[in-house]
Amino acid sequence: MLQAIGLTSTPRRDLPPLVDDLTFEARPGCVTALLGEPGSGKTTALRLMLELEPGRGITYFRGRPLHRIPHPGREVGVLLGDVPGHPSRTVRGQLRMLCAAAGVPASRADTMMEVVGIAGLRDQRLGSLSAGMDRRVALAAALLADPCTLLLDEPAAGLQPRERAWLHALLRGHASLGGAVLFTTADAKEAARSADRVVSIASGRLVADQEAADFARTRLRPRVAVRTPHAARLADVLGREARAAHRAVEIVEESGSRLSVYGSNCAEIGEAAFRNGVLVHQLADETGDAGAPVTPVPQARTGAGGTVKAEARVEAGAPLRAAAGAAAPAAPDARPDQRPAPGHGFRAEPGPGAGSWPAPGPQSEGRPADGARPPYARSEPPASAVRRVGGPLRPLRYELRRLFGTATPFLTTALVVAVSALTALVLARTGHTPRDRVLAAWPELVPLPPAALGAGLLGALAFGEEYRYPALAADRGTVPRRLGLLTAKLGVCSAFALLLGALTVTADAAAVRLVFGRAPLGTWAEWVAPAASWAGLLAGCAWAGVLASAVFRSASAGLAAVLAVPVMVVPLVRKVLEGPSAYPATGFASRLRGLASSPWPAEADRYVLGAFRVMAQPVGAALALSLMVLLCAYGFTGLRSRVRW
């Protein structure tokens, strides 16, 4: 059971709110259509239900508001817009990544691809999908966690008639299992044919809440669909006979061989075609648009001899009205196709505050939006703020699938290794560069080696892609900043950065040995301190990229923050550290050993001093200082806000 009570959006400046005191419900076992013209507030209403926009009102999903549901993705499946995924990611990779976010097995992705009919497109890139296939992927993502409620915004937009029929059959199947389905549409015919209940809104206010049969009878006009190879001739015949009989008939030429006739019936059209010898291939009663019955509006002019001639034209896609003298007869009832009775749904328990906010009762058919508040909204509804959701339920698995779901890390690794090997060869040929800088491919004039830049780039993409392609927060809230997700990103990016550093050093040593016949390598003991410095530099650059992209919400800003460390922060640290120290740090290892609870070996003093020297270097100190500032900024901008559960 979905109950929306008193939904009111935040008013814009000098303008009325897009949604104003909207109350309705979507029952389990039924498909409910939220009908309204473009700009009537349908999408805003859905976003208010999902707590994606600030406003007033509350929405209960089986008796609980969304912020009190532990795992909203398992309760509500949402479709707003296109698939929010990286265009280079495959369909299967996108769904498996979302499985990790929802905490369901990865095999669920293959199951849902079979359900929505895209099993053959599992290796297709998201950027190459058609509108229909993109909509199927979005539906599969909404159904991944087997939610009880579906909220879909214009799910049939841009689809072909066959795909629309498939979509509505899928929604009908979900409702038959006891789920509640709510979708928005601007097509009254689609709402009448595909829904069990139609909620009509205009200017953000409730107009009517009706059963689909009552909606079709009271608000839709019946029409006759005619298919004939002589459409223009038949339209002219029908227009002449309507004027002669003083009847209001509207004729619309849908295509070259199809007509839609309002204000008549199959018997009259068939008899007129028979009398005038017009071949007819099809005559069928259908549900028309949501316009009011045509009233006689004579289009007359005085011709030669003082006679009055009614002008009638048939244009492609434009209505032709033949009206004269008399009012149109009352339109017969138009009933949609018979539907199976809705199944037994979930029982909605009253949630917190449900006693003071009763569920809406049945609305009168055709209730006008006259601006008067309904009787159940006598007091102001509670205010709702934009909700921040938690991170993925399986953050490490999610981050691994996010990182390796595209070719970016592999292309970055190949480019970094190639540039690093070429740079190492140039430095080795000059003969004036120290061995450690040759292996790191780090010239004196370059702020960072290629491996550190690659690690910073991958770290910046970790959060930058979340904001550019918000797979985590799509349709559910802002991009989450949770410690579990942050820890997973820092761990995965630092591990990949260390792997990248090992590959570059190995490639540089192999290239120098292959070209010059010798390798700039010494004993293992000689490379312990440089290796620790190298690992700290790569991990620090990766972490700086992750934190900066999370703070500034951009991958380019994250990479810029990584470059700012050697360009801007290092000179400042050098200026602070230059000159003799009044208090030398001699004996630091022995004093640190005295603070330890258990004694450590004397050989460990060398490693402690090595790490301390690395931290005392300008680059190490600048990187540590930058990480501390970025971590504080991350906590201040994201983690300080209270998350409601």
Q: 311-344: per-residue pLDDT in tens?
A: 333 333 333 333 333 333 333 333 333 333 333 3
pLDDT of the residue at 545: 94
Alpha-carbon gap, residue 45 to 43, rounded angstroms: 5
The one-letter code for the residue type at 103 is: G
Mean pLDDT of the chain: 78
pLDDT of the residue at 167: 92
The one-letter code for the residue type at 528 is: V
Alpha-carbon gap, residue 419 to 453, rounded angstroms: 11
Alpha-carbon gap, residue 121 to 486, rounded angstroms: 32
Alpha-carbon gap, residue 376 to 374, rounded angstroms: 6
Instruction: Report which of residues 350 and 70 the model is more confident about.
Output: 70
Of the listed ranges 369-373, 542-546, 584-588, the one predicted with least confidence:
369-373
| Residues above pLDDT 70, as percent of the chain | 73
As a 3-state breakdown, the chain gives helix, strand, coil percent values, each rounded to 5, of: 45, 15, 40
Report phi then psi at 4, rounded to 5: -100, 120
Alpha-carbon gap, residue 275 to 266, rounded angstroms: 14
Six-digit token string for 122: 């599992």
Instruction: Give the best-scoring range by mean pLDDT among 6-15, 41-50, 256-265, 585-594.
Output: 41-50
Alpha-carbon gap, residue 283 to 266, rounded angstroms: 6
| pTM of the predicted protein model | 0.73
Of the listed ranges 3-7, 260-264, 488-492, the one predicted with least confidence:
260-264
Instruction: Output the CA angle 536-540-545, nearest 5 degrees.
Output: 155
Instruction: Report which of residues 610 and 22 the model is more confident about.
Output: 22
pLDDT of the residue at 569: 80
**Tens-place pLDDT, residues 402-436:** 999 999 999 999 999 999 999 999 988 887 788 88
**Tens-place pLDDT, residues 522-558:** 666 667 778 888 898 999 999 999 999 989 989 999 9
The torsion angle over the Cα atoms of residues 342, 343, 349 and 354, rounded to 10 degrees, is 0
How many angstroms separate the Cα of 183 from the Cα of each of 66, 103, 139, 314, 373?
18, 26, 12, 35, 25
**Tens-place pLDDT, residues 455-491:** 999 999 999 988 888 877 655 556 666 788 899 999 9
pLDDT of the residue at 318: 35
Q: What's the mean pLDDT in 120-148?
A: 91
pLDDT of the residue at 333: 36
DSSP code of 199? E
Alpha-carbon gap, residue 593 to 607, rounded angstroms: 13
Residue 591: band (very low, low, confident or very high) from pLDDT cuts 50, 70, 90: low
- First-to-last C-alpha distance (Å) of the chain: 20
| Residues above pLDDT 90, as percent of the chain | 41
Instruction: Report which of residues 503 and 319 the model is more confident about.
Output: 503
pLDDT exceeds cutoff 60 at 135: yes
pLDDT of the residue at 54: 87
**Tens-place pLDDT, residues 161-200:** 888 999 999 999 999 999 999 999 999 989 988 999 999 9
Q: What's the mean pLDDT in 228-233?
A: 91
- b/e code 408-443 from CB counts within 10 Å (16+ = b): bbeebbeebbebbbebbbebbeeeebebbbbbbbbe
Q: Which domains does the chain have, with CATH numbers?
A: 2-218+338-354 (3.40.50.300), 221-322 (no CATH), 395-639 (no CATH)
